[in-house]
Structure 1
Amino acid sequence: MIETTGDDRRLPPALADLAAMECAYDEGRGIDFEPYAAFDSAEETTEWLRSWTGNPAVDGGAYRVFGQDGTGGLAALQLLRPGRPLVEQPVVFMGSEGACGVVAGNLSDFLWVLADGIGPMEAVEYDDRSSRPDAALTSLAEQHATTPRRPAHEIIAAARAEFPAYAEEVGALCR
């Protein structure tokens, strides 16, 4: 279990600013993502993870859910790096139909993925994602990102390489 602090349920400034924006879906040409104004509570997260996995013994304490897509799939920071702050934890997505994966290795890289016009679901479920830069999200990333800008496909590939067994590990929780 990763140690947490009292502030780990407070949205980092980048996510708070993202929540104040609207991700333009633009009838499928934009990003299908609705950021939350606050993390889901620990109880809501555990209830969701138990429902998603079918496993009444799992605990959602390592997840900080901060948004969803139109189908109900959830994006979260997952506490996989002990002793590191929330912004340095990977962003993961768990879809409403069972797809899951790592979207970005940290919050900063996630901002660049969004700036490239790719949402969490698209990052996990589609390998043929094409860049559709979004000016407002690019501005947000430029303001908050601490990592250099890279194309979304490079960020996603790097996150998958860092956590290659992520989907299998989550799958092992399912009953």
Structure 2
Amino acid sequence: MPSGALNHGQSPLAPCPNYSACGHGDKPLSPLLRRVNQLPYHWRDGGGVDFRPFEEFVRPAETKAWIQNWAGTSALTGEQLLFFGRDSAGDYSGDWKAIAGADVLDQPIIFLGSDGDAAVIAKNFSDYLCLLASGHTGC
């Protein structure tokens, strides 16, 4: 676990109510991501999907504070991260703006665990949909 990793009991990041006002430009969640985040996710006593989607991306200031705490360094800005959901343990999923100039739907989807785990879970939004449709077994 990174020295600054969040513990299970720490408060989650709050979603941003207005994409533009939160410093993400003038573009809200893509219509496709918004629709996917509106789907019902059921935990079913551990047999389902523990995912709590947000209606908007997390505010940049809160993303910055979270990533700095998670990594244990103030060198990170979080500007390249757009979190769109979390689970009950405080793990976050979101877009990683890793490809300069690419549309948000073409960016990798990442998972950052509250205990320090990190992974690219899908190379883009299409692969993310495939991952969800397959029950997290992949395509």
**TM score, norm. by length of structure 1:** 0.63
> Which of the numbers 57, 79, 92 marks the counterpart of 1:39?
57
Cα distance per residue 1:30-63 (max 9 Å; x no partner): 1111111000011111111011001012100000
> Which of the numbers 54, 60, 76 marks the counterpart of 2:72?
54
Is 1:6 aligned with 2:25? yes
Identity score, percent: 32
Is the Cα–Cα contact under 8 Å of residues 74 and 95 in structure 1 kept in the other structure?
yes
Shift of 1:5: 7.0
Between the aligned partners of 2:122 and 2:61, the Cα distance in structure 1 is 25
Between the aligned partners of 1:15 and 1:27, the Cα distance in structure 2 is 26
- Uncovered stretches (5+) of structure 2, i.e. residues with no partner: 1-22
Shift of 1:7: 3.5
Cα distance per residue 1:47-87 (max 9 Å; x no partner): 11011001012100000000001101000100111110000
Is 1:102 aligned with 2:120? yes
Shift of 1:19: 2.2
| AA in 2 matched with 1:79 | K
Higher relative contact order (CA 8 A, sep 6+): 2
Counterpart position of 1:143: none
Counterpart position of 1:91: 109
Is 1:114 aligned with 2:132? yes
The number of residue pairs the alignment matches comes to 117
